[in-house]
Structure 1
Amino acid sequence: MYSNGSVHETDSTEDFETKLMLANFEGKNVPELLVTNASNGEIIQTGSSHAFKVSLATSSNKWAGLELKPSQPLDLSKMGPISLVFDAASLGEHTTQLFINITDKNGASHSRSAVIRSGKMNTYYAVLSSSDLKSDAEDETVELNLASGMRSNPPPFNTDAIQTAWLWGTKNLDLSGISLIKLSSMNSSHNKELLIDNIRIAGNPPYHEDYLTGILDEFGQAAKKDFEGKVNSVEELRAARDTELASFKEKPFTNRSKYGGWKDGPKLEATGYFRAAKHNGKWSLVDPDGYLYLATGVAVIRLGDTSTMTGLDRKVYPSDEDHSKTETHVTVSPVRRNLFQWLPDSSDPLSKHYHYARGVHSGAMDKGISYNFYEANLERKYGDNYHERWREVTIDRMLNWGFTSLGNWTEPGLYNNDRIPYFANAWITGEHKTVSSGNDFWHALPDVFDPAWEKVADKAVRKVAKETQGNSWCVGVFIDNEISFGRPNSQQTRYGIPIHTLQRDGNEVPTKAAFTRAMQEKYSSIEALNTVWETNISSWDAFNRGFDSTINNQAQVADYALLLELYASKYYETIAASMDTHLPNHLYLGSRMPDWGMPMEAVRGAAKHVDVLSFNLYKESLFHETWAFLEEMDMPSIIGEYSIGSTNDGHYHFGIIDAEDQEDRATKFVDYLDSLIANPYFIGAHWFQYIDSNMTGRVYDGENYNNGFIRVSDIPYQPMVDASQEFHKDLYEKRFRESNKL
């Protein structure tokens, strides 16, 4: 395995000064420190040198790539500001998303990603440590720890090398012991080949002098980059408006029913509302008039979540004249304030688009003043009645682009528009008891056996029933989102709800009491349970009061699986009962389980009570093997979120799935939908989201993704529009033709 004697010291003249060469493939054999995983790898000659070629097979849910696993952890702690640097290129016509995972000797790791471009080799880097450029907080250094309020910051260095975008994990690894470096891909929509060379640890080049300064112009766009579709004046904005509005006169989709179903296809029973049915072995929705219907669309069609934090907050102080309170703005985060070339003063008519955030999930500020560039651009574009005009144009766009529905988190003002079907949503909020999975990603989990939770759940359903008013254009309702039922990393994370709940007192926690009853019904005596679980619990009363729930054996795991399914089933059963009462004619669509939090026990619990299973899936494609469980359940399913992004138009983060540019993004968008309609259980998918995240991050958590169909200027991405129109032209024929096989 790896030894210090095999290290190649080089004096590089590149931007990044090589300090430790890990693998340059100039020997006859693959270095022993290199391990391929679920892929084929070989050294090939590239001109006068050599590189490592990795084959990445499609239709696989397995990681494929290479790993550097030194026999002893690498000590990089004395090298100063450094980055992991490598050269790479995709072979063939398709780009490749590469994930970079780095782990230290303590097991902490962090993940980054970049799209590897086709053609020539490019240099990519992932910062491991940085210094010298301080923020307003003394202990924060650039890129890794800077509280900028953005998920990924602009490239910090003067270099043509490509920055890998931060995804998740521990930013500050223990550099005294790096135990694993993994470069890999997953869920590729095509067979791909990747060329990698010169994997190295290198010193960082100088920072940009104006790093994090003036990166946003008056329209909320990338100030320092030109790109197709960029707006330079209000006149250009209005000219783009007029051109787009004129395009709506064309009606490209004439084979659609009133509700967007397949007018030229078979007609099934009409019930006056949407329902799910199986036709020729494939699940479909059926529109109120009886036509087969697939739900393609866009989620988050609303003006909420379109503001960004300014670095300003309110300062309230007494006036000397009358002792009343007056207010002014003060800078509380210079880093945030310096991002903007322009913010309106109080006399500017566009100052009405300032808002106030009283609390955020994460970011540079706990609270403060935000600004909505998107709203300001709408006012510049449409005038004082911009909100109503925005609603009209949005529906025109969806129909013109071929979409058949408005997705989750659509503004209720767009409900009941009688032009395009929509999906409603509700959040269950209010006072009730909670339990925990040990990793409650968005919020604490409800104690679903608490009568108070049943009441607030019913209140949420009644609220959405009032909003939808029994309208036939409402397809159905999503309730809650991405609940942390359990993560697949380990048995402890998968069965976190039973593990943590069993430790609690059933006299105070209704879900724990329900778990106690379930085990009593199965085992009758505590002795029988102790024998199977290899525990020593003194009585059922002691069981109910709480005990050490550490997993001892697989029989105990099987019972934890039963308890997890019991919890999930109760969650969905309670909501389904309220749906039957208040929205009996509309589909209950579940809670949009994320692929990182959908243990099969929770899916089975949902399948007992929902009309359509729902999942959020950020991958290049849907692979049949991943979703084979739907054959057993025979349940219609829908994707509530997916997207692909790029950084070529000035954004600093692509989101989850990366593309080289807008054309590549559009290609991957169609690849995803092609894989969806080839699966007989999926009846639709909603793109996340309508409007790009702010380049400087949304208020709630700093997401600054290129995930929209339209820019902050309200100008659509034309490659995405063209791809959508082309895909939707024969949507139903592609889905239901007999030759369409998995």
Structure 2
Amino acid sequence: MGANGGGITLPQIKGAGKRYVVGDIEVLEDHSVAMMFRCFLPGAEKERIFMRFGILPEFKTRICFDLSLLDNSTIYTNRTPGTLKLVVHGQRTDIDEVDRFELGMEDTFHDVRVRFENFYLTDEKPADFPLPDKKIVDEFGQWKAKEWPGKIHSMDELKTKLQALEGAAVYPFPEWNRWGGDANRKLKEGNGFFSTFKSADGRWHLVDPDGCEYFSLGPCGTRPGDPCRVDSFEQVCDWLPAVDDPNFKELYNIGTTRRAAYMPLDSFKMISFTALNLKRVYGDNWREKWTEISHHVLMQNGINSQGNFPGLGVNDGKSKLPYVRELPGFPSTDTLIFRDFPDVLSPEYQEKSGKYAGQLAAWKDDVWLIGYFLRNEPEFNFVEGLAIADEVLHNPAQTYTRRGLIQFLQDTYGTIEALNAAWETNFESFADFEKPIDNCSTMYPKSEADIRKYSTFLIREYIRIPALACRAVDANHLNLGLRWSKAYNLDMMAGWEYFDVFSINCYDFDPTRDMDFVKNAGVDLPILLGEYHCGALDRGLTATGLKGVTDQVERGVMWRHFVEKVAAHPYGVGAHWFQYNDQFCLGRYDGENYQIGMIDICMQPYPELMEAVYATSKVLYSVKNGETAPYERLPKSIPMIGY
């Protein structure tokens, strides 16, 4: 397939009435490929809905597309053996509307060779997902088929390199205090916890417990390695300990989970190769050594925070790095409106919000906790232009939010005749809204203003109810918001007044556009960038992540440009890289296998990135206060290999 993208048409699907498309795919390159299964309406140049999925290089993989996913009820799916991550994006689509099905890819940085074999249609999900009989992962968790600077080849080499990383947990800049704030920039009297401050020049700031300026800079996932999904992959690894091995059984995580309440149960077996490597070197003292090395590597380069999913000295009296965290178990309801959006007007949502907030009681006195996220990336927000009130009407359930919508319309119009006149519709009564209505704001364009108004109200309630419950339990820490996956929907700006800090994740090279969207929407709060990253193919992994660059030097360029643009923005108060560790070459629990770490799977820092981290941290507070211009060069990019 050409570098400009494209694919092959699958005309056999149209009209066949089958649920699954099954076939074997082999990528004949030395890197992973992000592929697309696209569905086009008649005459359309752009697909209406698509599945994006990853395939390992030179590893024949059976793929199974479930056509029921065209209803767009989920973004995520459970893995099948051999596959990487598969996600669903676009708009709800009736399969009978689809004119063309295409299997291919978007732009890449070169022509890509792919082999398709044995495709067929069926109503039965295949029971067999065969894997090639070959070893592709070495004893340290590294990709075997490739060499790169820093690759570990022996236990002696691993031991020597780990020991060289041991050292003190100290910041390199004398003006930084123990929190990583600037002791020379006192903004107000400290209250013993992290807080916010808006200066006379209109800039928002974080303030450390001593009252000094604090910019939160650090990686997410400061844990001993990324969980490596090994179920179905055992035979392709050079070595894995037995699950009952007394030396290593503590490192296994075996069980079942639902990624979201509406998803089917998934069974998994995971282990951290990073933890395995550390224990093989340090024995029972491995966790203490991991803590020492991590503090040293991060702090000596000017990292002063742990982003979401922290693991270094978290509420244990041993903290050296301030951290943020996500409260687990965001309140849901037995009946969901769309994806993970709950029935927010139900008594059940109110009750579960109170129980959810109760978790904060054990954390409310920890001075190292900057604040908490209510949750991470609500899945309904991945649908561009979504109006949640449209989904209330589409869902046939007689929910509290549906009753609320009917009451809202009655209060607005009084009579069905008045509504019909405003909407240019012919409903017989308000009882008609008890029945499912598909795409109301599209079908009846004059309804859009009301649909958007009620959607905004629902988003505000979605936030207000748990936020107030949390504040009642913990008044010491900052409410950091929801970590929205993208800032592009004005509806999702509702409820900001219940936060202390507004958080967004931003997978762009420059965060300014998204930050300006939030600011221009009327949000008057500090803005925290909860995730960003990039990766390259010049080291040990075969996928770049959600932004791709040419090499490790350009990863450093991206760090400098992104972080310093956040700091220079008048509302910017923090940037959290995703993530501390590289992902596993065969994929984490959901199949992401990205070269996005500050350290690799053998805990070796990427020197080019660390040099950039230090350079930015050295000027961080002067950039934040407009005294130094931010780093301007953008990185040399390549199309991402991400899913």
- TM tier, smaller: 0.7 to 0.9
AA matched with 1:308: R
Is contact 2:40–2:49 with CA below 8 Å preserved after alignment?
Answer: no
What is aligned with 2:575?
Answer: 685
The residue number in structure 2 matching 1:719 is 608
Hey, what does 1:417 align to over in structure 2?
A: 318
Secondary structure of the corresponding residue to residue 423 of structure 1? strand
Comparing 622-631 with 99-108, greater Cα deviation is found at: 99-108
1:575 and 2:466 matched: yes
**Corresponding residue number in structure 2 for 1:601:** 491
How much has 1:731 moved relative to structure 2? 0.6
1:540 paired residue number: 430
**Structure 2 residue matching 1:686: 3-state secondary structure:** strand
For 1:473, the equivalent position in structure 2 comes to 368
Aligned 1:129-528 pairs, distance under 5 A: 147-151=80-84, 183=107, 213-246=134-167, 248=168, 251-279=171-199, 280-303=201-224, 306-311=227-232, 336-345=233-242, 349-359=247-257, 366-411=266-311, 414-415=314-315, 416-428=317-329, 432-437=333-338, 440=339, 444-466=340-362, 468-487=363-382, 489=384, 494-495=386-387, 497-503=388-394, 508-528=398-418
Shift in Å, 1:658: 0.9
Q: Offset at 1:727?
A: 1.1
Cα contact 1:353–1:375 (8 A) shared by 2? yes
Quote how far apart the aligned CAs of 1:662 are.
1.9
The change in CA–CA distance for 1:607 and 1:542 in structure 2 (over 3 A counts) is: same
Q: CA deviation at 1:663?
A: 2.0
Cα 1:644/1:177, change in 2 over 3 Å:
closer
Return 5+ residue gaps in structure 1 as ranges.
Answer: 1-15, 17-21, 24-65, 87-97, 115-125, 153-165, 185-195, 312-335
Q: 1:211 to 1:229 in 2, by over 3 A?
A: farther
* Residue 288 to residue 540, structure 1, CA distance change in 2 (3 Å): same
Q: Which amino acid aligns with 1:386?
A: W
Q: Secondary structure at the match of 1:436?
A: strand
1:225 partner SS = coil
Per-residue CA deviations over 1:4-25 (Å, capped at 9, x if unaligned) read: xxxxxxxxxxxx9xxxxx99xx
Shift of 1:628: 3.9
1:149–1:697 Cα contact (<8 Å) kept: no
2:284 is paired with a residue of what secondary structure?
coil
Quote the residue 2:72 is aligned against.
Answer: none
Please state whether the residue corresponding to 2:206 is helix, strand or coil: strand
Displacement, 1:585?
A: 1.8
| Cα separation, 2, equivalents of 1:471 and 1:169 | 40
The answer on whether the counterparts of 2:556 and 2:609 sit within 8 Å (CA) in structure 1 is yes
Q: TM-score, normalised by structure 1?
A: 0.68
After superposition, the Cα gap between the structure-2 partners of 1:398 and 1:451, relative to the gap in structure 1 and judged at 3 Å, is farther
8 Å CA contact 1:645, 1:707 repeated in 2 = yes
CA distance in 2, matches of 1:372, 1:620: 30
Find the aligned partners of 1:488 and 1:430 in 2 and give their Cα distance. Answer: 21
TM-score (norm. length: structure 2): 0.78
Deviation at 1:583, TM superposition (A): 0.8
Which ranges in structure 2 are unaligned for 5 or more consecutive residues? 13-22, 42-46, 67-77, 91-97, 118-130, 633-643
1:603-618 aligned within 5 A? 603=493, 605-618=494-507
Query: What CA distance in whole angstroms lies between the structure 2 residues aligned with 1:625 and 1:292?
Result: 24
Residue identity opposite 1:682 in structure 2: G
Matched length? 575
Q: Deviation at 1:714?
A: 1.9
Instruction: Tell me the distance in 2 between the aligned counterparts of 1:514 and 1:666.
Output: 50
Contact 1:487 1:598 in 2 (8 A): no
**How far did 1:738 drift?**
4.5
Q: Structure 2 matches for 1:696-707, cutoff 5 A?
A: 696-699=586-589, 701-707=590-596
Counterpart Cα distance in 1 of 2:165 and 2:60: 45
Structure 1 SS opposite 2:581: coil
* Residues 360 and 678 (structure 1), Cα distance of their counterparts in 2 relative to 1, 3 Å cut: same
Shift of 1:423: 0.8
SS of the residue 2:184 aligns to:
coil
Q: 1:569: how far off?
A: 0.5
Q: When you count strand as a share of all residues, which structure comes out higher?
A: 1
Task: Please name the residue that 2:562 is paired with.
Answer: 672
Partner of 1:155: none
Indicate the residue corresponding to 1:120 in structure 2: none
Q: Distance in 2 between matches of 1:720 and 1:203?
A: 33
User: What is the identity, as a one-letter code, of the residue corresponding to 2:206?
Assistant: L
Give the distance between the partners of 1:384 and 1:203, measured in 2 at CA: 46
How far did residue 84 of structure 1 move? 12
Residue 330 of structure 1 corresponds to which residue in structure 2? none
Taking structure 1 as reference, are residues 425 and 102 closer, same or farther at Cα in structure 2, changes over 3 Å only?
closer
Instruction: Supply the AA of the counterpart residue of 1:721.
Output: M
SS of the aligned residue for 2:166 comes to: helix
Q: Partner of 1:384: helix, strand, or coil?
A: helix
> CA 1:294–1:562 in 2, change beyond 3 Å: closer, same or farther?
same
Using the TM superposition, give the Cα deviation of residue 647 of structure 1 relative to its aligned residue in structure 2, in angstroms: 2.5
DSSP-derived class of the 1:276 partner: strand
Task: Supply the distance in 2 between the matched residues of 1:360 and 1:435 (Cα, whole angstroms).
Answer: 15
1:420 to partner: Cα distance: 2.2
Q: Are 2:524 and 1:623 aligned? A: no
SS at match of 2:325: strand
Closer, same or farther: CA 476–233 of 1 in aligned 2, 3 Å: same
Partner of 1:558: 449
Separation (CA, whole Å) in 2 of partners of 1:285 and 1:655:
30
Over 3 Å counting, the alpha-carbon distance change for 1:338 and 1:179 in structure 2 is closer
Paired residue secondary structure (1:579): helix
The one-letter amino acid paired with 1:480 is: R
Secondary structure at 2:498 match in 1: coil
**Cα offset, 1:224, TM superposition:** 2.4
Q: CA separation in 2, counterparts of 1:409 and 1:257?
A: 24
**Contact kept in structure 2, 1:150 and 1:703, CA below 8 Å:** no
SS of 2:554 mapped into structure 1 = helix
Alpha-carbon displacement from aligned partner over 1:462-516 (angstroms, at most 9, x marks no partner): 21331x24222211110111113444645xxx11x2112124578x411222222
Question: Which residue matches 2:74?
Answer: none
Give aligned-pair identity as a percent: 26
Listed one character per residue, the Cα deviations across residues 86-133 of structure 1 (whole Å, up to 9, x for unaligned) are 9xxxxxxxxxxx99989665546768899xxxxxxxxxxx99xx99x9
Q: 1:412 to 1:571 in 2, by over 3 A?
A: farther
Conserved in 2, the CA contact under 8 Å of 1:83 and 1:204?
Answer: yes
For residue 589 of structure 1, what is the aligned residue in structure 2? 480
Give the C-alpha shift of residue 640 in structure 1. 0.9
1:637 aligns with 2:527: yes
Question: Which digits, 9 at most, give the CA deviation of each residue in 1:657-688, with x for residues without a partner?
Answer: 11222222222122211221221112111111
